[in-house]
Amino acid sequence: AQSVTQLGSHVSVSEGALVLLRCNYSSSVPPYLFWYVQYPNQGLQLLLKYTSAATLVKGINGFEAEFKKSETSFHLTKPSAHMSDAAEYFCAVSVSTGNQFYFGTGTSLTVIP
């Protein structure tokens, strides 16, 4: 079975500061990993995905994530936070034979002006 743990349900950063959102996964087979963003009263929008190619993955809006097998991690980063980045972020894991995504409980990002 697969699972995801997102450390820190709430993260606050100043505008222009580094954003780091943590995701650790558990999977008995090679995983596929995804980060999604959710704005209030909206669905989830894909930020980026890791599907066994390059371990450093670049996504939309300046976000990137690095797959580290030894640490079973897939942390999301952005060098400089914008006010528009304030939202809920979800990490998800899947596998090649899987039929569903397993989501973490989410991290709410607040950007302080």
Partner 1 sequence: DTGVSQDPRHKITKRGQNVTFRCDPISEHNRLYWYRQTLGQGPEFLTYFQNEAQLEKSRLLSDRFSAERPKGSFSTLEIQRTEQGDSAMYLCASSLGDTGNQPQHFGDGTRLSIL
Among 7, 8, 9, 14, binds partner 1 (CB under 8 A): 9
| Alpha-carbon span 54 to 47, nearest angstrom | 16
β-sheet bridge partners, residue 111: 13
- Candidates 16-24, 60-68, 71-79, 89-97: pick the segment binding partner 1 (CB under 8 A): 89-97
**Cβ closer to partner 1: 19 or 44?**
44
Q: Does 63 bind partner 1 (CB under 8 A)?
A: no
DSSP per residue over 73-90, as a string? EEEEEESS--GGG-EEEE
> Residue 41, CB half-sphere, CA atoms under 13 Å: how many?
0
Length in residues, the chain: 113
Q: Does 55 bind partner 1 (CB under 8 A)?
A: no
Task: Kindly state the number of chain residues that form the binding site for partner 1, as judged by CB under 8 A.
Answer: 29
| Chain contacts with partner 1 (rule: CB under 8 A) | 4, 9, 32, 34, 36, 41-46, 49, 51-52, 90, 92, 94-106
